[in-house]
Structure 1
Amino acid sequence: MTSYEVVEPRAESLVESLRAFGYATETAVADLVDNSITAKATTVDVRLRWAGNESWIAIVDDGLGMDGGRLREAMRPGTTSPLTPRNASDLGRFGLGLKTASFSQCRRLVVMSATATSSLVARTWDLDHVIRVGGWQLLTTLMSEDRAMWDELHGDQPGTVVLWRQLDRLVVSPDPQNEQAETHFYTIADRVARHLGMIFHRYVTGPGKITIRVNGRNIAPWDPFLESHETTQVVTDESLPYRGELISVKSFVLPHVSRLTSEEHTAAGGRRGWASQQGFYVYRNRRLIVSGSWLGLGFRREELTSLARIRLDLPSHMDSDWQIDVRKSVARAPGALVPELRRIAEVVRLRSENVYRHRGKVLQRASQGDVVQAWLQVVRGTKIAYQVNRQHPLVAALLTAAGGGEVEAMVRLLEETVPVPLIILNHADGPGRQAAPFEETAPDTVRSVLTDVVRAMSRAGTSGKEIVGRLLTMEPFSDFPDLVREVCTRELGQEMA
């Protein structure tokens, strides 16, 4: 017979350790929204109310709700083993999320729930009480202010309210009149809304969609793949066999910045920016787990691969294989899948590089003439440099009229002082901040420059038809086709006719 001792963890010590799982407020809220979705909610309302020390956060849903027995089990730390088979639509795993996510943000967790056949039940974890008594005493008495909160937020319909009180890690001042503290609190609300829009974007769009609101406003879904954009490329779409099942993998190359409006570019960059958002997006039952990572496959984040994004869909029972953590924020690819995932990553990274190089090449795409760009990329030994294209109509006309001399010297000075390091630095800090050619420029200014180009090309003996053809393929005038035709008709009307 094996001898043993029962060594129970000290509640007053463990409860504080459970607060240190590393949740941000937005990831903690997302964990609770998982529970609402698993409970078949069609509407999830996240409320954040500032009131100094009395501030609170509530997650309200119209799901199936719980009776007293189920609520007691839901409040038990580690209620379900991660090895226990789960329903295919279950977004939980460890049976810890409700508790650890809530404890990370508050010292008093109240859960109130009702089903279609049972009346309101409530349970409360008060961490100060647990520490005071030195035991896992789950409170069953519903305080009057919490009951009033149920009536305000939910009413008598089936569903659940998870209420966080005593937000010791979020409230920076006990004074409800402290405007700076209030602003900080509602900044967190904005962060929560953006995060939920990313994590649950596939739940709030399409057939069977649900409604998720933060402080009364529907969250805006964030599609990391820009699937609706006409220039987004689907590179691969396949299913990888693993342990008798198929894992869906679909890879995309997003549009180059020149194909996006500034608003589209900023939105698609996500909360971390384009360079950090590249890589794999791992979903578990359509819920985003990892948002932009090369999963330790040996690839680096690079500017040229920032357009590469790969969607990977996992069933819930593969959590262990992918080493998904308690916070549902980390995943690691099983060794058996690494070669195939590397193959897909290499293909989509190469395509992203090709898009960048194609858009960045100067005078290397087909056109109806030799003049397309104002700048040329040249190689000097092992170095890359940039030169003004002296065959450009305006540049050539200016140099001819001036006979070289000071104008040539000025052009050479510009070439030797292109602020490449500064351009690279600014692009890394904010890729969407660089102005596109003639962006926010008055049409009359563009028209004036275009008129000078047309006249210079005409003086050089280029026919009207050829001028139109070249301008329609010459950046930046290729973005102004109507203006090109207007100016050419005015300047070269008889010749074009």
Structure 2
Amino acid sequence: MPYQPSTDWQFEVPTSGSKRLPPDSGYANALTNQGYSFEVAIADLIDNSLDAGASNVVVHFLRDDDRLLSLLIVDDGRGMNDAELDAAMTVGRRRDYGPGALGMYGTGLKAASLSHAGALTLVSKTRTSRSGGRQLTAASLADGYRCDTVAPEYAQSLIDRYDGLIQWHGTVVRWDRVRAFETVEASQTDQFLSEAMHKLETHLGLYLHRFLDRGDLNIDIVVEDVHTREELDHNPVEALDPFNYRVPGKSGYPRVFTAPVEGIGHLKMAAHIWPAKSPRAEYKMIGPLAERQGFYFYRNDRLVQAGGWNGQRGSSDTHLNLARIALDLPSQPNSVFSLDVKKVGVTATPAFARGIEKAADHQGRSFSSFLKDAQAAYREGSSRTEVTRKSVIPPGKGIDPRIRRVIQEELSAKPGEDPITVSWITLPAQKFFELDRDNRVIQLNKQYRSAFNAGRRGGSNDAPITKTLLYLMLEELFSFARWEKKRSDQVDYWNRILIAAVEAQRDRFAN
């Protein structure tokens, strides 16, 4: 039927042919400037590991003295052959995702990596294919999206380097020329690493907490000296479940509310009220409390939004700091919810707001009653008097992260204070420990190290009981402006007593 402008223009735009328009090389700038934070980018890569069936992931910082060189994410997933490596590194290629996949848009590997690194290298092997690799750089993208093939010998050597994790199959993602590393001054490397690792632990522990809690996934963050291969730091990521309280802030909770949402159907929401003034890391250490109230959206068990009201309320209300609601997004595509490419925020249409207004639990109570209960629990909890505990200089590297978390839960940190680290060094035989007060280090005599590790080589977080007791005993000594003679005498007799304890322990092992 011929085109009739007077009647057809308002219904459909006619076309008269088509042409292919490949992306200009300038699009690479947009690809590498997606606004990924460091920890969000790494979480996106670990999503790929989970989609590949990985059970173990290592985030590996390579360090040369005071310089950070590279970052690698290593997993024991099913791996990729040459064709799959090509597909993974093709810009703009969207693969088919299964119903339970965490990937969505097909851009995460490239965009997340090149937002932080000048070079992205992908090396992998499957049970039936040899090791292979591909590399993208800013220059190769500008050169018509060229992808370079990694030398097979290097690909195999990199896989072999991680033979404790990658046996029959697995993948290594390597970042070089990491922009954040290149801007760190030598004197600030330790501080930068400490902050970066803390943010990583918190973000990964929160957004992947369901996988970590079930034991489906183990994540370790490791720092290694590239020359000695010595492990300088090793932090396992612990789950941070935002609903992991022991006793609810109000009896009868959590409650499940059902919201009728147009385009989806009945959406279930688990409404929780935290106990007031909770010291738990899952409540107070995953970000500002006002930002963590509200909705927690999950997609295929992966947290994709941690707090916020999505238009249900004008702004955060301090009196709702105890209110958190867990929602699992529908697995099937829908027109109500959309997820941003970084997977840290959800946009909802007004249909969601209308559904919330009609939401009720099995007894007919409205969602607004939950908000009133949360506000009342907050007011009641704020009026309680609590025992005030002293603030402490926080523990740092060398003390197991699980112990550091409990200390942070139980004792508030003195603001602006550098943490106390614990390390093993060479000391005279009559010294079990020394204090480096200027650099905030408890130095332990490494000739006694084997007594606390049953003769095995210890890692950076070994001897947890001994290190924790020493931290609790010595922490306040780092706060004194003047070092009096009685302090030196105290350290001397502590050393003599502790060496006697080590000798007694050695005698027990010998017998």
Scaled by the length of structure 1, the TM-score of the pair is: 0.65
Counterpart residue number, 1:280: 295
Structure 1 residues 44-53 or 279-288, which shifts more? 44-53
Q: 1:307 to 1:349 in 2, by over 3 A?
A: same
Counterpart residue number, 1:63: 77
Counterpart residue number, 2:216: 209
Q: Tell me by how many angstroms 1:269 deviates.
A: 1.6
Match of 1:76 among 86, 90, 109: 90
Counterpart residue number, 2:377: 355
Q: 1:182 to 1:2 in 2, by over 3 A?
A: farther
Maintained 8 Å contact 1:115/1:159: yes
Q: Tell me by how many angstroms 1:118 deviates.
A: 1.4
Q: Tell me by how many angstroms 1:145 deviates.
A: 5.4
Alpha-carbon distance in 1 for matches of 2:21, 2:67: 37
Give the secondary structure class of the aligned counterpart of 1:297: coil
Letter in 2 for 1:107: G
1:171 paired with 2:182, answer yes
Structure 1 residues 119-128 or 1-10, which shifts more? 1-10
Maintained 8 Å contact 1:224/1:270: no
Maintained 8 Å contact 1:50/1:185: no
Letter in 1 for 2:147: L
Letter in 1 for 2:74: V
Maintained 8 Å contact 1:130/1:136: yes
Counterpart residue number, 1:390: none
Task: Structure 2: give runs of 5+ residues left out of the alignment.
Answer: 1-14, 223-233, 360-365, 386-410, 414-511
Q: How does 1:290-439 map to 2 (within 5 A)?
A: 290-318=305-333, 321-342=336-357, 343=359, 346-360=368-382
Match of 2:157 among 148, 152, 159: 148
Q: CA RMSD in A?
A: 2.9
Alpha-carbon distance in 2 for matches of 1:310, 1:327: 21
Give the secondary structure class of the aligned counterpart of 2:337: coil
Match of 1:42 among 39, 48, 55: 55
Q: Tell me by how many angstroms 1:8 deviates.
A: 2.8
Q: 1:73 to 1:88 in 2, by over 3 A?
A: same
Q: 1:186 to 1:76 in 2, by over 3 A?
A: farther
Higher helix share: 1
Q: Tell me by how many angstroms 1:322 deviates.
A: 1.1
Q: Tell me by how many angstroms 1:336 deviates.
A: 2.3
Alpha-carbon distance in 2 for matches of 1:332, 1:143: 44
Maintained 8 Å contact 1:248/1:314: no
Structure showing greater Rg:
1
- CA deviations on 1:176-197 (whole Å, 9 max, x unpaired) are xx13135314421221121100
Q: Tell me by how many angstroms 1:70 deviates.
A: 1.4
- CA deviations on 1:286-329 (whole Å, 9 max, x unpaired) are 11111110012234211111110000111343476312111111
Give the secondary structure class of the aligned counterpart of 2:310: coil
Aligned-pair identity (%): 26
Alpha-carbon distance in 2 for matches of 1:245, 1:95: 29
Q: 1:144 to 1:179 in 2, by over 3 A?
A: farther
Alpha-carbon distance in 1 for matches of 2:282, 2:60: 25
Give the secondary structure class of the aligned counterpart of 1:354: helix
Task: Structure 1: give runs of 5+ residues left out of the alignment.
Answer: 363-372, 374-431, 435-497
Letter in 2 for 1:271: I
Q: Tell me by how many angstroms 1:147 deviates.
A: 4.5
Alpha-carbon distance in 1 for matches of 2:344, 2:247: 28
Give the secondary structure class of the aligned counterpart of 1:63: coil
1:87 paired with 2:87, answer no
Alpha-carbon distance in 1 for matches of 2:221, 2:367: 36
Letter in 2 for 1:251: A
Counterpart residue number, 2:136: 125
Match of 1:102 among 113, 134, 142: 113
